[in-house]
Amino acid sequence: MSSPTAAQAHHRVLIVGGGTAGITVAARLRRAGLRDIALLEPSETHWYQPLWTLVGGGQAPLRASLRTEAELIPPGVRWLRERATAVDPAARTVTTGSGRVLSYERLVLAPGLRLDWDGVPGLAAALGHGGVTSNYRPDLAPLTWDMIRRTRRGTALFTMPSGPVKCGGAPQKIAYLAADHWRKRGVLGAIRTILVLPEPTMFKVPVFNRALEETARRYGIEVRLRSEMTALDGAARTAVITDHATGEAETVHYDLLHAVPPQRAPEWLANGPLADPDSPYGYVKADRRTLQHPDFPEVFVLGDVANLPTSKTGAAIRKQAPVVVANLLAGLRGRPATAHYDGYTSCPLVTARHKMLLAEFDYDLRPTPSIPFLDTTRERTDMWFLKRYGLPQLYFKGMLKGIA
């Protein structure tokens, strides 16, 4: 696909971000017959990130999560291989890394979030060696499995930062997969496993919180609530764990550390006029029902960058995208936005090899199960197979095609 000429700098719909949210919305708009859609995305690779936990747990190959961006861009959508660097919602323009200025009638913001590896002193320098890894980077997810397999004794530390993160269950899931592997190898008793979580409970929905508490007890995992890693010394293999309830800080020596970085909106959005002033992480303001920006209704926001009171997951995007498309098309036709998003999200909580809970809930933290006749609040083998094989198929052949 060729780059646009100056005469093509205006688009009826401009989508920023070619990840899950951007491609899903583009595909749905094309199926609705809309023309003149441009998608701004610099990367030529597309990752199905939910699989990285299973990669780190030795249950899936990394290549299963990879596709080229070119094969996923919907036909009829103009792919602009650049990065957005600024937005002026009053002028209805987006500026790109090359200095190009693109104007739009409707803007869809779906650039994802930014992994702030420097947000914990010492973390960026320690990554990838000395026992430090993270499933939040595709090149490190296979290393996680190598480290888990090599660990026979010592202390394994699994951390989660404060603030919203993508797939809020992922920091816990890899701890359970590691502990299950060590149990089966007969070495779990020789490994001190510590799980550091910033929230007052392991999960906000009570029924799933109880299930995860039991999972942690089963493996003998020390759960530190209201706590997070605040510093790291990679050379000494020590991490500072701060208890926010008491203010006390403890230095823990680790042999294996799986770290999840703090996460924020891209800087060009966090420092711009669309950011929500109530979000210390720079996420974009959005009406929680219509997914429009309250101050600029021609701007729609979905996915990880939206400041919504729900978990940042691909399952949330699957429910957000139809709302964005319906309300965007209504606006182009001069009609009010009537489609509403109820906050649905889903977190597949892998608790062991071939075992999983499926946590589905809405803005009010009410369980909203979508699979009839199955109790997904307890560990199930069929749910694990859904995550490993069913959901990737739904993603690539359904969501990204605009039909699921």
Are the CB atoms for 327 and 292 separated by under 8 Å? yes
195 plus 68 within the same structural domain: no
Query: Is 400 domain-assigned?
Result: no
Segment 152-167 mean pLDDT: 96
CATH number at residue 252: 3.50.50.60
78 plus 153 within the same structural domain: no
Q: What is the reported pLDDT for 19?
A: 97
Q: What is the reported pLDDT for 4?
A: 41
16 plus 72 within the same structural domain: yes
Query: Is 380 domain-assigned?
Result: no
Residue of 13, 50, 61 whose CA lies nearest to 317: 50
Q: What is the reported pLDDT for 8?
A: 46
Query: Is 366 domain-assigned?
Result: no
Question: Which residues are catalytic, by number?
Answer: 167, 347
Segment 311-336 mean pLDDT: 97
Segment 64-68 mean pLDDT: 97
Query: Is 371 domain-assigned?
Result: no
Helix axes 20-31, 314-332, angle to 10 degrees: 40
Q: Which helix (H) or strand (E) holds 84?
A: strand 84-88
Q: What is the reported pLDDT for 372?
A: 85
171 plus 126 within the same structural domain: yes
242 plus 335 within the same structural domain: no
Residue of 158, 2, 175, 174 whose CA lies nearest to 78: 2
62 plus 123 within the same structural domain: no
Query: Is 164 domain-assigned?
Result: yes
Q: Which of 234, 263, 292 delimits the end of a domain?
A: 263
Bridge-based pairing of strands 10-16 and 101-109 is parallel
Mean predicted lDDT score pLDDT of the chain: 95
How do residues 215-226 score in pLDDT, each as one tens digit? 999 999 999 999
177 plus 77 within the same structural domain: no
Q: What is the reported pLDDT for 6?
A: 40
How do residues 12-37 score in pLDDT, each as one tens digit? 999 999 999 999 999 999 999 999 99
Q: What is the reported pLDDT for 5?
A: 40
158 plus 225 within the same structural domain: yes
- Number of folded domains that form the chain: 2
Q: What is the reported pLDDT for 246?
A: 96
pLDDT at 374 over 90: no
252 plus 302 within the same structural domain: no
Per-residue confidence band for 3, with pLDDT thresholds at 50, 70 and 90: very low
Query: Is 383 domain-assigned?
Result: no
197 plus 95 within the same structural domain: no
pTM for the model stands at: 0.94
83 plus 126 within the same structural domain: no
pLDDT at 164 over 80: yes
Residue of 256, 362, 273, 94 whose CA lies nearest to 284: 273
Query: Is 29 domain-assigned?
Result: yes
Residue of 261, 267, 350, 340 whose CA lies nearest to 308: 340
Q: What is the reported pLDDT for 110?
A: 98
Q: What share of the chain has pLDDT > 90, as a percent?
A: 95
Are the CB atoms for 111 and 23 separated by under 8 Å? no
Q: Tell me how far apart the alpha carbons of residues 212 and 349 are, in angstroms, rounded to a whole number.
A: 9
How do residues 188-241 score in pLDDT, each as one tens digit? 999 999 999 999 999 999 999 999 999 999 999 999 999 999 999 999 999 999
Segment 337-352 mean pLDDT: 96
Range of the structural domain that residue 285 is part of: 6-113+265-344
How do residues 103-140 score in pLDDT, each as one tens digit? 999 999 999 999 999 999 999 999 999 999 999 999 99
Q: What is the reported pLDDT for 1?
A: 40
